[in-house]
Amino acid sequence: SASIFAAVEMAPRDPILGLNEAFNADTRSEKVNLGVGVYYDDNGKIPLLGAVRAAEKARLEAQPPRGYQPIEGPAAYNGAVQNLLFGKDSALIANAQVVTVEALGGTGALKVGADYLKRLLPGATVYISDPSWENHRALFESAGFPVDTYAYYDAATRGVNFTGMKTSLEAAPAGSIIVLHACCHNPTGADLSDAQWNEVVDACRARGLVPFLDMAYQGFADGIDADAVAVRAFSASGLQFFVSSSFSKSFSLYGERVGALTIVTAGKDESARVLSQVKRVIRTNYSNPPIHGGAVVAAVLNSAELRQEWETELAGMRDRIRAMRTGLVDQLKAAGATQDFSFVAKQRGMFSYTGLSAAQVERLRAEFGIYAVSTGRICLAALNSKNIGYVAQAIAAVTKG
């Protein structure tokens, strides 16, 4: 009899993975992959942070048993996450208005949040930024929501179309879920100002929208507290909201899958009930989180010494990305670029929407072995002191007249 898989169709390829495969197959020694979503150091390597190394060494020596964790993850981890998001003196924490569960990276946090929201608000529509991280749409659709977009990027200014964004938010039906990039917008690198965040808070309050902040890059723009400006603006608002956060980038722990879902409620009693429901979502999905990554992060964040080391290393990553931004602008100018690329230095986080067309991206690949996403998004953290000049010359060449 026929296989049950006989009629299965091939799912569409992930565009970034396809790009990586093509890059790996390229034999040119000067090749550069700007399509990645990972921080590389100046040697083109994913760093293993010193604070992480120290915490791992201590764990290995302690030889802890490997029992099951609580469904929501350990309190030492969840508390450390809350302190990073809200600041350790936050009234929300003191009032037990904050529910945090460990999750499998930022993606896992988004999915647990989406599955819970589907039970809480089954008829809601989800709005994501135009454009957004490519997994947002698929993830919320897979949780059963219709997904629409709100205006965000302005190609003319290479910044945020804030008027358009507000118009979109004001037109969203009450009870809609609004996914907001808390900092370091992926893919554009264009963030809201502090004042604009306050206007978004007002719009969410006025329309009865449910904010879901996605913070995958805390510490990559201006610093831990500065990058939490959106979270802090919502904290001060009295609204209920969701936050997904991730240590993939800030701890360089991509494959350990360390993140958290945090939900702000109206009070202690609500928090207990909400936590019980989120635990059901987790229990029926993967039961409880793995130990290692969260234990390492908690050990670092809860030790004054290791935390200081981590903050210094995080600042090092942030400063290197900034140096690559200004370096690219300077070297493009030096390479005779006819276009003004000064916007690259103003964008924030790991990415820049360069404005390169799909045809120009294709020329970069064919003529120079430089790989980027066809939207023109490049990862600044893939640049280093050895390849930046080559990349600048190539971009100057393909953008000239």
Cα–Cα dist 348/187, whole Å: 10
Closest to 329 in 3D by CA, of 387, 382, 388: 388
Query: Judged by CB, which is closer to ligand PLP: 93, or 379?
Result: 379
d(CA 89, CA 75): 17
The catalytic position among 115, 191, 214, 227 is: 214
- 216 near ligand PLP (CB under 6 A): yes
Site for ligand PLP in 180-209 (CB under 6 A): 181, 186
HSE toward the beta carbon, residue 65, CA cutoff 13 A = 3
Biggest CA-to-CA distance, the chain:
67
**What three-state secondary structure class fits 17?**
helix
User: In whole angstroms, what is the distance from residue 234 CA to residue 146 CA?
Assistant: 25
User: Does residue 248 touch ligand PLP according to CB under 6 A?
Assistant: yes
Among 118, 133, 197, 279, the one annotated catalytic: 133
Stretch that binds ligand PLP, among 80-88, 103-111, 191-199, 324-332 (CB under 6 A): 103-111
Q: How far is the CB of 401 from ligand PLP (least distance, A)?
A: 34
Q: Is 400 a catalytic residue?
A: no
Map residues 227-246 to x or -, x wherever contact with ligand PLP holds by CB under 6 A: -------------------x
Site membership for ligand PLP, residue 33 (CB under 6 A) = no
Question: Is 111 noted as a catalytic residue in this protein?
Answer: no
Cβ proximity to ligand PLP: between 186 and 252 the closer is 186
CA end-to-end distance (rounded Å), the chain = 61
* Closest approach of ligand PLP to the CB of residue 192, in Å: 15
Q: What would the DSSP string read from start to end of 1-14?
A: ---TTTTPPPPPPP
Residue 133 binds to ligand PLP (criterion: CB under 6 A): yes
Q: Measured on CA atoms in the order 110, 116, 122, 124, is the torsion positive or negative? A: negative
- Toward ligand PLP, which CB reaches closer, 259 or 369? 259
Q: Is 214 an annotated catalytic residue? A: yes
DSSP H or E stretch at residue 71:
none
Contacts of 71 (CB under 8 A, 6+ apart): 101, 279, 282, 283, 287, 288
Nearer to ligand PLP, 37 or 113 (CB): 37
Does position 214 interact with ligand PLP (CB under 6 A)? The reply is yes
Among all residues, which ones are annotated catalytic?
133, 214, 249
Residues that bind ligand PLP (CB under 6 A): 37, 105-107, 133, 181, 186, 214, 216, 246, 248, 254, 259
